[in-house]
Amino acid sequence: MEIKGIAWLGSRTKNYDEMVAFCSEKLDLKQVLSKEDMAVFLMPNGDVFEIMAPHIDASQPELGQMECPKAEFLVEDVHQARQDMEALGIEFVGPVYVAEKHAWTNFRAPDGHLYGLTDDRLPGLRGDEAKIIPINFGQSIRN
């Protein structure tokens, strides 16, 4: 298994509206998805920052265990990387989630916090190649 980078950072917060406004207005981040309980921002290099409202954990129960921002490490194959890490005794929380063109899973590190693995950032959303991609949340991501 090879870690290629940190592709995703997520924060679950009770100050959801304030954080979305902060990222949009103060940090001038490019918002590519907006829902009542989730906002996704795309960085110029393809990295993703996601803000989640506290009640979003209903769809992924382990999100209720996010006590601080959570990073996801980019790997070639989430399923294989998870197998490799489980063989080393690393505790995973929840299943491997599979969207249309990427997958992710969560694990607990020695600091007690959740981290994740992902096998792509947001496919097709790198730099000038950004385009509309349907995802499982019932909305599309736009450039």
What CATH number corresponds to the domain at position 134? 3.10.180.10
Q: Which domain holds residue 79?
A: 5-141
pLDDT for res 122: 56
Arithmetic mean of pLDDT over the chain: 78
pTM as predicted: 0.68
Q: Is the pLDDT of residue 59 over 80?
A: no
pLDDT for res 86: 95
Strands (E) across the chain are located at: 5-12, 30-34, 38-42, 48-52, 70-74, 91-98, 103-108, 114-118, 133-134, 140-141
Q: Indicate the pLDDT class of residue 121, thresholds 50, 70 and 90.
A: low
pLDDT for res 65: 66
Q: For residues 61 and 12, which has the higher predicted lDDT (pLDDT)?
A: 12
Q: Is the pLDDT of residue 130 over 50?
A: no
pLDDT for res 92: 94
Q: Name the domain count of the chain.
A: 1
